Amino acid sequence: MNKVHRFAASRKPTNVTLPADLVSEAKRLGINVSQACEVGLADEVRKMLGEEWKRENREAMESSNEYVRKHGLPLARYRDRLWRS
């Protein structure tokens, strides 16, 4: 299951401190502050999860890239056949 999606299952009241003029302008424009904060936080979590995944899988990705550099793409010989079909 997508880690970001699983957070939507339950809700938790949270206090967030924001600049008063920003909140006033958001309300004037009809922006749902809670929803906007949730969207922004979800985007940041998604970004950080991606960075975490890259760190955790860096060695495997480097190994795979090294294999391709040395041996080429594993199924490269079939590429022309796929495009001619």
For the chain, the structural domain boundaries read 3-84
Sorted by sequence, the CB contacts under 8 Å of residue 16 that are 6+ apart come out as 37
How much is the average pLDDT of 25-48? 96
In Å, what is the CA distance from 46 to each residue of 3, 36, 59? 8, 15, 21
- Separation CA 18–CA 29 (nearest Å): 16
Higher-confidence residue of 32 and 6: namely 32
Higher-confidence residue of 8 and 27: namely 27
Higher-confidence residue of 9 and 58: namely 58
Residue 36 and residue 77 in contact, taking contact as beta carbons nearer than 8 Å: no
pTM value is 0.67
Residue 42 has pLDDT above 90, yes or no: yes
How much is the average pLDDT of 21-46? 97
